Chain A
């Protein structure tokens, strides 16, 4: 819709300008608002308090922690726990902290996200626009796959990866993540692509574009929101994964989550709460940043994908 004010003659516009402007004023302290903001405040405190405790504890030294007062800010701020968590904490034989796990996770994350999204988006596109004999059955089976509990497939996949010769490697884990992301991502992309007008696809075919031409030049440019959603789902899902990481890799290749567990749950020596807190925060940082950076697009994409099923 065009800007309405630009169509009003200048004389009329100046007359408009002389009156009161802006939205209708509202009472700020109505009972409804008190309820609303009161609830929001309580909920934020509920969710922020643990974060507060974690950050404060991670900045304290061990003597200060032993005094109790978990809510109090540190008397003496120290970043030593963070340094230790990142580069010195011991897990098993290695004493290079979480940094090893971080880079492992990055190496797992990037190809897993990339391959799962590429394959799922092509799946969704083909299922909507290039329907083949049995495509409905294919889709049903794929969706059914997402209802099978992981635990059932855990051991068969170990055998499968072993036979393929990639058990215990990063690429084995990448393959597992790609496969397990497939049902939900395909559903997501299929729903999004079926919400795009079918006539666009027909027009592109008349214009002589083929399977890939339509995918790359017509569909992809229209699909930014759903790709953002898929990226967020996959980045957070794969980064937070623990089970597959611990089952399908070996200690040198453990992802960050597994290393975090090993640091926090080590039974020998003193429990270093400050190091544990710092390590946990470090591990959670990546999904946190992803959410902050893409919150708006995420909501838009979820809404776009939900229009039609």
Chain B
């Protein structure tokens, strides 16, 4: 472990009875890094966060924070602050009481408490709200106070458990920017749980995509988006999601055969493809272009079915043999319904998966 490692999770396992929620999970988070744990419900992301916080005891494995083995330490002794989805503000205390509760428990002198509360209120712009009760605050203000409660503790690690899920769309994007600003100002290590891929892609230094208690891929957002390590990650990230074409790689891996249509794989950004009788070609909607002319080895013939205009872009759904393909086009270049067109494939940006192992080649 290097000195710059903030959190180190080693072979962490958690079982609830016979159900295994986390399976020998390993994760190293660098100091000052913003890690997002992303995955569908039940993937173990919140469980992992609760283990980091010390709110759940692992069945096996260790957790190190700042070079200390904290696997069995109390939550308050781990140097963490946590922000919850439901804000979890103490309803009977004022905002000031909420912010200072943890500090009072730590027997901190009143002058220091006042100083820290004032600083947090200044950073989060909640100064005028300090003497109100949580019931008198709006959702956004409540979440700010909840962040402030983590802030006053002056900790190394911030843990966020879906902090924006209870807010409406507009507030959510506002607070998202604010969290990002907070991170660049404080430079703390942050671990952020969400099922919202927009939050993940915008906030994270690295994203850990989880499923079934296992981290599927841990990489920078662009890497995850462009080179998903397996079919699950490819399908989970991106909205609208990636198109998957079932076929085979032929000609020693130089081409992809899909219902008789051959696509040249020259320039593919990945490992040696080789010949596989069951392969999947993954194409994002923006990596396809609609043309009128067929180019052998580079295009797929398709019929336009429907389109969904979404402001600047339009999502066009086409039928190519058995498969349905979505393509993102500028709204002014929408093709007519029922038109027979050709889709040019951007192979350097595509992903090829082995259909058996579901891994990217």
A209 surroundings in chain B (CB, below 8 A): 101, 105
CA distance A217 to B92 in the complex (A): 9
Cβ-based interface call for B88 (8 A): yes
Q: Are A199 and B92 also in contact (CB < 8 A) when A207-B101, A213-B105 are?
A: no
Chain A, 164-214, CB within 8 A of any chain B CB: 197, 199-200, 202-209, 213
Residue among A199, A200, A205, A221 with the highest chain B CB neighbour number at 10 A: A199
Task: With CB as the reference atom, state the residue of chain A lying closest to B100.
Answer: A207
Known: A199-B86, A202-B84, A213-B105. A207 touches B149 (CB 8 A): yes
* Residue contact A208 to B86, C-beta cutoff 8 Å: no
Q: Is B86 a contact of A206 with CB atoms below 8 Å? A: no
Q: Which of A202, A204, A205, A208 is in CB contact (< 8 Å) with B90?
A: A204
How far, in whole Å, are A217 and B86 apart by their CA atoms in the complex? 19
Whether B85 is near chain A, meaning CB under 8 Å from some CB there, is yes
Contact status A200-B55, CB under 8 Å = no
A197: nearest residue on chain B (CB-CB)? B86
CB of B58 to closest CB in A, whole Å:
16
Most buried by B among A202, A203, A209, A222: A203
| Interface check A218, CB cutoff 8 A | yes
User: Which chain B residue lies CB-closest to A209?
Assistant: B105
Tell yes or no: B7 within 8 A of A by CB: no
Whole-angstrom CA separation of A213 from B50 in the bound complex: 21
Minimal Cβ-Cβ distance residue in A for B91? A222
- Is the CB of B81 closer than 8 A to any CB of chain A? yes
Q: Which of B85-100 contact A (CB under 8 A)?
A: 85-92
Q: Are B88 and A199 in contact (CB under 8 A)?
A: yes
Determine the chain A residues whose CB is within 8 A of the CB of B82 once the complex forms: 202-203, 206
Q: In the complex, what's the smallest C-beta–C-beta distance from B312 to chain A, in angstroms?
A: 35
B238 part of interface (Cβ distance < 8 Å): no
CA A207 – CA B93 in complex, angstroms? 14
B27 at the interface (CB under 8 A from A): no
CA distance A200 to B89 in the complex (A): 7
Asked whether B297 is an interface residue with its Cβ less than 8 Å from the other chain, the reply is no
Measured in the bound complex, the distance between the Cα atoms of B149 and A205 in whole Å is 13
Cross-chain contact of B105 among A207, A221, A222 (Cβ < 8 A): A207
B286 to chain A, nearest CB (A): 39
Decide if B102 touches A208 in the complex (CB within 8 Å).
yes
Which residues of the partner chain A approach B235 to less than 8 Å between Cβ atoms? none
In the docked arrangement, what's the CA distance between A202 and B76, Å? 11
Q: Given the complex of chains A and B, what is the CA–CA distance between A52 and B210 in angstroms?
A: 73
> Complex: how many Å from CA A197 to CA B84?
11
Within 8 A of A (CB), among B135-163: 146, 149, 153, 161
Number of B positions contacting A (CB below 8 A)? 27
Whether A202 lies near B88 (C-beta < 8 A) is yes
Residue of B nearest to A202 (CB): B55
Given contact pairs A206-B80, A213-B105, A222 touches B149 in the complex (Cβ within 8 A)? no
Q: Is the interface of A mostly helix, strand, loop or mixed?
A: helix
Contacts of A217 in B (CB 8 A): 101
User: Measured between alpha carbons, how far is A209 from B82 in the docked complex, in Å?
Assistant: 14
B92:A208 contact, CB within 8 angstroms: no
Interface size class of A (residues with CB under 8 A): 10 to 19
Q: Is B212 an interface residue (CB 8 A)?
A: no
Residues 219-231 of chain A: 1 if any B CB is under 8 Å from the residue's CB, otherwise 0?
0011000000000
CA of A213 to CA of B84, assembled, Å: 20
Known A199-B84, A199-B85, A213-B105; contact A206-B90, beta-carbon cutoff 8 A: no
Whether, in the assembled complex, B48 has its beta carbon less than 8 Å from a beta carbon of chain A, the answer is no
Q: B residues within 8 A CB of A218?
A: 90
Instruction: Verify A200–B102 contact, CB threshold 8 A.
Output: no
Q: Which residue of B lies closest to A205 (CB)?
A: B75
> What residues of chain B lie closer than 8 Å to A206, measured between beta carbons?
53, 55, 75-76, 80-82, 102
Q: Is B106 an interface residue (CB 8 A)?
A: yes
Complex: how many Å from CA A162 to CA B300? 93
Which residues does chain B contribute within 8 Å of A197, judged by CB atoms? 86, 88
Residue contact A222 to B92, C-beta cutoff 8 Å: yes
Q: CA–CA, A200 to B106, complex, Å?
A: 18
Complex-state Cα separation, A222 to B54, whole angstroms: 25
Nearest CB to that of B101 among chain A residues? A207
In the assembled complex, the Cα of A206 lies from the Cα of B88 at a distance in Å of 11
Chain B 154-191 interface residues, beta-carbon cutoff 8 Å to A: 161
Shortest Cβ distance from B87 into A: residue: A199
Q: Is the CB of A200 within 8 A of B76?
A: no
CA distance A218 to B105 in the complex (A): 13
CB-CB under 8 A from B91, the residues of chain A are: 222
Instruction: With both chains docked as a complex, state the minimum distance between the C-beta of B249 and any C-beta of chain A, in angstroms.
Output: 49
- Whose C-beta in chain A lies nearest to the C-beta of B83? A203
Do A205 and B55 contact each other (CB < 8 Å), given the known contacts A200-B90, A221-B92? yes
Contacts of B153 in A (CB 8 A): 207
Cα–Cα distance between A121 and B75 once the two chains are bound (Å): 25
With A and B bound together, what is the CA distance between A189 and B91 in angstroms?
19
B76 touches A208 (CB 8 A): yes
**Complex: A208 Cα to B89 Cα, angstroms:** 15
Residues of A within 8 A of B (CB): 197, 199-200, 202-209, 213, 217-218, 221-222
Q: Can you show 25 pairs from A to B with CB atoms below 8 A apart?
A: A199-B88, A199-B161, A200-B88, A200-B90, A202-B53, A202-B82, A202-B88, A203-B89, A203-B149, A205-B54, A205-B55, A205-B74, A205-B75, A206-B55, A206-B76, A206-B80, A207-B102, A207-B153, A208-B74, A208-B102, A213-B105, A217-B101, A218-B90, A221-B92, A222-B91
- Beyond A207-B149, A208-B106: 9 further Cβ-contacts under 8 Å? A199-B87, A200-B90, A202-B82, A203-B84, A205-B74, A206-B55, A206-B81, A206-B82, A209-B105
Can you list the 4 inter-chain pairs with the closest CB atoms, starting with the nearest? Answer: A208-B76, A207-B102, A199-B88, A208-B105
